[in-house]
Amino acid sequence: AQKITQTQPGMFVQEKEAVTLDCTYDTSDPSYGLFWYKQPSSGEMIFLIYQGSYDQQNATEGRYSLNFQKARKSANLVISASQLGDSAMYFCAMRESSNTGNQFYFGTGTSLTVIP
Amino acid sequence: GAVVSQHPSWVICKSGTSVKIECRSLDFQATTMFWYRQFPKQSLMLMATSNEGSKATYEQGVEKDKFLINHASLTLSTLTVTSAHPEDSSFYICSARDVTVLYSNQPQHFGDGTRLSIL
């Protein structure tokens, strides 16, 4: 089974509107971390937000918030007040602990386009 | 199942040795593979873009002679860290897609990463 699933290959949002990017994950580890990255056309992967599996509250970082629903194993990214500069690829990732150290798993990404 | 296999997942070696990391696409032909290195605060730095049958394109600040990339076939790219030193210790991740444009709607499949520890 896929560890991370992003079902939206492409999304469009009007500038200043909010948008939700979906992410579901699969793990049997009790301790794990969930990440969202932004990949602009330059190719780098910019860390946006992190949610630990034991965190009680949903993570927020500025205009980014993570809608963490543990029972449903979902970790959707919400971007409020979209800006043109938000147009990019967005990747959801999960970190599990293993005997070889932390292991990362990435989704296939969602391409977000912000329309003026 | 995994569509990109990265090997090894963890390697420890002495300073001065060279380490090869393999990235294989399992069920598609990857014309382009990307190599990333993870830095503190979780960001992943793009090191280079590897195109099958041609020289890799390195990002600014990445030493070509230090990080040798070979993309000999449509399913395999290798990253060799030559004369590795402790500062090269990091987490390296490859990704692959079957188109050459980085920014597109085509899915980008990531390997599970390689943790490199140089003593």
Q: Mean pLDDT of residues grouped by 10 in chain A (116 residues)? A: 88 97 94 90 83 92 96 97 95 78 80 95
The answer to whether the CB atoms of B115 and A111 lie below 8 A apart is no
Q: Which residues in chain B touch residue A42, judged by CB atoms under 8 angstroms apart?
A: 46
For A29-88, give the secondary structure using H, E and C: CCCEEEEEEEECCCCCEEEEEEEECCCCCCCEECCEEEEEECCCCEEEEEECCCCHHHCE
Q: Which residues in chain A touch residue B42, judged by CB atoms under 8 angstroms apart?
A: 35, 47, 50
The answer to whether the CB atoms of A45 and B46 lie below 8 A apart is yes
Report the residue of A90, A106, A114 to disrupt the B interface, i.e. the one with the largest count of B CBs within 10 Å.
A106
Dump pLDDT digits (tens) for B6-40.
999 889 999 999 999 999 998 888 888 899 998 76
Q: Give the separation between CA B63 and CA A60, rounded to whole angstroms.
A: 36
pLDDT at residue B2 greater than cutoff 70: no
